[in-house]
């Protein structure tokens, strides 16, 4: 919501006219509701069906399709960057870009990105925050680098599918700030469910879903953290027009902030890379770039975002593009890291937007084991290559990837003690702090 400041004056106050010259607008993020649910990633349990893990296993024991296990499941804004563009809407529908320039759009006024809250401005300029320290990001060769051209490795939580949260951890700014200060999180991923069995996903309730994403983005901006806006589903190629509309809106609202990263397709399944996935990404990237010329965009790869070597053989043309790799350490081992090595050897930039130290179903009751030694091998590999990551999932449930145990109500505001943590979360926390 924009707030317009107006002035009235009498002839006696005419000398004060200059005080009325400034009108500002501040973006205001709504807070949408979400459905409850103890859904897991990589095997989201809902109404008796488990989704992911290489296909779909029905509650009646139906066949599993797809062969290779899922990489963790599916239907899963501070100040402008250096250059200091001032707040306010641009004419012609453009928004201020991340280096202070203007990207003009056709028709209409811009949607909110140029307005800057005082808290957001402080978050981006405070050198103690991640964005204050690193500034706008860019991709050079296979590496994500900061405004000082130094390699940067971002670490933080991925939300639960926002329409299936049990509590609103991802939307709580106080809790996220506590995680930044105590666990050293530098990024959060907002996993917006698109087409699920629930009535509060994006296709069923877009206003609710967008409000949730906007809340998380604004909180990250205010805290000087980076944020991934994630289109969280398996079949984005079937919803290309919806994705283009959504990401255009996000770019218009948030594209001027260096905090923002776009993730256009969480986990494709068996769709062909060159004939289906690449054209989809090209269309969505073009829509984003028409508004936001330079913020990083992350592109999902085939087979639950595992076949990054395939994408390396036929990458998109463009700047500041990265490619998604997902792993769950009880399922994905050296063979998948070898694919990652092959992609890096071809200068393909990788971002692990989702991982767990569990089975690919997210650590459900069927597969409650943790594979911490293998997870450590993954982290050694990511640290060697300065690969950024977000860990699944910032919620409370019985799955071993849920950060908080399901036997008690956990405060969303932070102050989390060891007895509140569940499954792989102590490992996740310790890796964030490194």
When pLDDT is averaged across residues 223-235 and rounded to a whole number, the result is 98
CA distance 423 to 129: 28
The confidence score (pLDDT) of residue 121 equals 52
When pLDDT is averaged across residues 270-292 and rounded to a whole number, the result is 98
What domain range is 108 assigned to? 43-433
DSSP state of 395: S
In a domain, 140, yes or no: yes
Q: Are 327 and 391 in contact (CB under 8 A)?
A: no
Confidence class for position 30, pLDDT limits 50, 70, 90: very low
Q: Say yes or no to pLDDT of 81 above 90.
A: no
Higher pLDDT, 22 or 425: 425
Q: Say yes or no to pLDDT of 29 above 90.
A: no
Q: Say yes or no to pLDDT of 21 above 60.
A: no
In a domain, 10, yes or no: no
Whole-number Cα distances in Å, 4 to 20, 21, 91: 12, 12, 17
When pLDDT is averaged across residues 248-260 and rounded to a whole number, the result is 98
335 burial level (CB within 10 Å; 0-12, 13-18, 19+): exposed
pTM above 0.85, yes or no: no
Q: How does the average pLDDT of the chain come out, rounded?
A: 80
60 burial level (CB within 10 Å; 0-12, 13-18, 19+): exposed
The confidence score (pLDDT) of residue 124 equals 59
In this structure, the number of other CB atoms found within 10 A of the CB of residue 64 comes to: 14
Instruction: Provide the total of helices (H) and of strands (E) in the chain, helices listed first.
Output: 11, 15
CA distance 31 to 239: 25
Whole-number Cα distances in Å, 210 to 88, 248, 255, 410: 22, 12, 15, 25
Q: Are 224 and 124 in contact (CB under 8 A)?
A: yes
When pLDDT is averaged across residues 188-194 and rounded to a whole number, the result is 98
- Of 267, 282, 310, 374, the active-site residue reads 267
The confidence score (pLDDT) of residue 60 equals 32
Whole-number Cα distances in Å, 381 to 2, 111, 152, 171, 323: 46, 40, 15, 31, 16
CA distance 153 to 271: 30
The confidence score (pLDDT) of residue 123 equals 62
The confidence score (pLDDT) of residue 122 equals 56
When pLDDT is averaged across residues 175-187 and rounded to a whole number, the result is 98
In a domain, 112, yes or no: yes
**CA 165 to chain CA centroid, nearest Å:** 16
When pLDDT is averaged across residues 220-236 and rounded to a whole number, the result is 98
Token pair belonging to 336: 């998948």
In a domain, 376, yes or no: yes
In a domain, 32, yes or no: no
DSSP state of 277: I
The tally of domains found in the chain comes to: 1
Q: Are 309 and 342 in contact (CB under 8 A)?
A: yes
* Residue among 411, 316, 314, 400 at smallest CA distance from 362: 400
When pLDDT is averaged across residues 261-290 and rounded to a whole number, the result is 98
Q: Are 348 and 312 in contact (CB under 8 A)?
A: yes
In a domain, 20, yes or no: no
Confidence class for position 205, pLDDT limits 50, 70, 90: very high
Q: Say yes or no to pLDDT of 190 above 80.
A: yes
In this structure, the number of other CB atoms found within 10 A of the CB of residue 207 comes to: 10
In a domain, 34, yes or no: no
Segment 46-69, tens digit of pLDDT: 333 333 333 333 333 333 333 333
Whether the upstream peptide bond of residue 393 has omega within 30° of 0, thus cis, is yes
Q: Are 261 and 226 in contact (CB under 8 A)?
A: yes
Q: Which range, of 14-28, 147-161, 239-253, 374-388, averages the lowest pLDDT?
A: 14-28
Higher pLDDT, 251 or 31: 251
- For residue 341, what is the enclosing H or E element? helix 334-345
Segment 369-427, tens digit of pLDDT: 999 999 999 999 999 999 999 999 999 999 999 999 999 989 999 999 999 999 999 99
Based on the residue annotation, tell me whether 267 is a catalytic residue of this protein: yes
The confidence score (pLDDT) of residue 350 equals 98
Measured over all CA atoms, what is the biggest interatomic distance in the chain, rounded to whole angstroms? 82
When pLDDT is averaged across residues 135-139 and rounded to a whole number, the result is 98
CATH number of the domain within which 91 lies: 3.20.20.80
In a domain, 237, yes or no: yes
């Amino acid at each position: 919501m924009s707030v317009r400041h107006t002035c009235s004056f009498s002839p006696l106050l005419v000398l004060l006219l200059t005080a009325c010259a400034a009108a500002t607008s501040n973006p205001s993020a709504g807070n949408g509701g979400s459905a409850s649910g103890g859904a897991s990633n990589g095997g989201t349990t809902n109404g008796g069906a488990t989704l992911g893990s290489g296909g779909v296993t029905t509650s009646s024991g139906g066949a599993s399709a797809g062969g290779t296990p899922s990489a963790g499941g599916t239907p899963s804004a501070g100040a402008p960057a250096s250059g200091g563009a001032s707040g306010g809407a641009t004419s012609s529908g453009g928004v201020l870009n991340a280096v202070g320039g203007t990207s003009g759009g056709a028709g209409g006024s811009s949607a909110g990105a140029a307005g800057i809250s005082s808290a957001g401005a402080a978050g981006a300029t405070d050198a103690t925050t991640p964005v204050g320290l690193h500034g706008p990001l860019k991709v050079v060769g296979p590496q994500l680098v900061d405004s000082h051209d130094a390699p940067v490795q971002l670490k933080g939580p991925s939300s639960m599918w926002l329409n299936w949260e049990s509590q609103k951890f991802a939307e709580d700014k106080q809790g996220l700030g506590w995680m930044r200060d105590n666990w050293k999180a530098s990024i959060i991923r907002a996993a917006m469910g698109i087409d699920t069995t629930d009535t509060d996903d994006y296709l069923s309730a877009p206003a609710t879903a967008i409000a949730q994403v906007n809340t998380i983005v604004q909180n990250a901006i205010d805290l000087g953290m980076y944020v991934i806006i994630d289109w969280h589903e398996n079949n984005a190629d079937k919803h290309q027009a919806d994705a283009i509309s959504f990401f255009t809106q996000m770019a218009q609202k948030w594209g001027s902030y260096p905090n923002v990263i776009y993730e256009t397709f969480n986990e494709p399944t068996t769709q062909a890379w060159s004939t289906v996935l690449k054209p989809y990404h090209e269309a969505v990237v073009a829509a984003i770039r028409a508004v936001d010329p330079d913020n990083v965009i992350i592109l999902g790869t085939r087979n639950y975002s595992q076949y990054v070597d395939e994408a390396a053989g036929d990458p998109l043309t463009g700047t500041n593009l990265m490619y998604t790799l997902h792993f769950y350490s009880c399922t994905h081992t050296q063979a998948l890291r070898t694919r990652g090595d092959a992609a890096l050897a071809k200068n393909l930039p990788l971002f692990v937007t989702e991982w767990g130290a569990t089975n690919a179903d997210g650590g459900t009751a069927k597969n409650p084991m943790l594979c911490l030694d293998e997870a450590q091998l993954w982290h050694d590999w990511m640290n060697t290559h300065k690969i950024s990551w977000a860990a699944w999932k910032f919620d409370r449930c019985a799955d071993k990837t849920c950060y908080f145990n399901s036997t008690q109500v956990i405060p969303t505001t932070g102050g989390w003690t060891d007895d509140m943590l569940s499954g792989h979360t102590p490992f996740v926390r310790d890796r964030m702090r490194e």
